[in-house]
Amino acid sequence: MYTKKKFPFKGMISWTRRDIYKFIIISTIPVILFSIFNLKFLQLPWLPIALLGTAVVFIGGFKNNASYDRLWEARKIWGGIVNTSRSWGILVRDFISNHNGHESLSEAELKAEKLIIINRHIAWMAAHRYALRTPKSWEGFDNTHADKEYKDRFIQIEEHEIPLEETLKAYLSEEELSYVMSKQNKATTLISLQSKHIKKLKDKGLIWEFSYLDMEKLLVEMYTLQGKNERIKNFPYPRQFATLNYTFVLLFILMLPFGIMGTFDDSGQQLLNDLTDMNAGGLKTVSTFIAKNFVWLTIPFCTVIAWVFNTIERIGTVSENPFEGTPNDIPITSMSRGIEIDLLEMFDEENIPKNIPIRNDIQM
């Protein structure tokens, strides 16, 4: 996600510049036909176009609200993962001990058991994060040339550059890594291994019965949070709403110059009539020239209006899927690294990774 206090307007213009070129062409062609070739019948009444624009605004507002809800829900879920992970860290640190066991481990052995569980939890976050970054057919950030160009220039997605197996090697034993990589849902498998591990520790008496129940509840909560993210990832914004909105916006943009140029032409004629009583001079000459060519103002005004409607549509589209890795998505890579740092610091580990750097004002 963007980290600047204000959204970079220049970046927005760069992102949509190809659309702007199209809107200039769409606006220019009707004006040429109307003004140069004198095809006055091309002008359309503004009222039906305004009604269509009103419908587009309502549908676009509905889509953007729904897209924002998906984005904000994803952010709340990852906030839950942050809190649950920290809670899991203190339970692992304080609940696994020799106080209630019939087997006694040294402090070094106890810490080793705890770090296995903590590293496995970090591996769970990585596996879950990689699953969320997996492209889906309905995700559209690479569908347009402008989006792909922007992504290639400014965005670096770790999950697309480093294989999952390479990432998990740092946190799992070779046996566990091989077992996890053989499964389809690797994150689910890792939580299952956590449950088996703490049950063994409970059977040895290294975890008190009631403490064991609290830890199992947290594992169930992790499953719940993972499932909520998977629901957003695997169920797209309904295609009928997305397709209709795009179609209506395109139809409105195509009709827009035919409704606007008549209004500008009438305004130019009115201005020309007002100039008839003026005295001759340079000012009148310039004003008359402007009045006669007032219809050409259709092009910049139509381009701006079309750009606003189209940009609202595109923002709604890129916000539909909050895990793709666009500048407006949830920075799950940075959040995972922050959780990893918190957990390792709880155990006073020395080799603690650094935070994910912010590149091009984008936090991934």
- Label residue 348 exposed, middle or buried (CB < 10 Å: 0-12, 13-18, 19+): exposed
* Spatial CA neighbour of 135 closest among 157, 154, 155: 157
* Spatial CA neighbour of 48 closest among 243, 258, 244: 258
Question: What are the pLDDT digits (tens) for 78-90?
Answer: 999 999 999 999 9
**φ, ψ of residue 333 in degrees (nearest 5):** -65, -45
Please report, for residues 70, 105, 216, 250, 259, the alpha-carbon distance to residue 299 in angstroms, rounded to integers and kept in the order given.
36, 79, 64, 17, 12
Residue 6 pLDDT: 58
What's the mean pLDDT when you consider all of the chain? 87
Which range, of 34-48, 118-132, 348-362, averages the lowest pLDDT? 348-362
pLDDT at 41 over 90: no
Residue 275 pLDDT: 64
Axis crossing angle, helix 174-181 with helix 186-203, rounded to the nearest 10:
140
Question: What are the pLDDT digits (tens) for 130-159?
Answer: 999 998 888 766 666 666 766 767 777 888
Kindly state the tokens that stand for 204.
Answer: 């040895």
Question: What are the pLDDT digits (tens) for 249-293?
Answer: 999 999 999 999 988 888 777 777 776 655 544 556 666 777 677
* Spatial CA neighbour of 84 closest among 342, 292, 347: 342
Question: What are the pLDDT digits (tens) for 313-362?
Answer: 888 888 888 998 887 889 999 999 999 999 999 998 888 998 888 776 77
Axis crossing angle, helix 298-318 with helix 46-95, rounded to the nearest 10:
30
pLDDT at 5 over 60: no
User: Domain residue spans in the chain?
Assistant: 9-346
* Spatial CA neighbour of 121 closest among 75, 77, 168: 168
Please report, for residues 193, 253, 298, the alpha-carbon distance to residue 303 in angstroms, rounded to integers and kept in the order given.
58, 9, 8
Residue of 178 and 325 predicted with greater confidence: 178
- Sorted by sequence, the CB contacts under 8 Å of residue 132 that are 6+ apart come out as 229, 233, 323, 332
Mean pLDDT of 163-174: 95
Tell me the residue type at 135: P
* Spatial CA neighbour of 221 closest among 116, 97, 86, 120: 86
**φ, ψ of residue 139 in degrees (nearest 5):** -80, 130
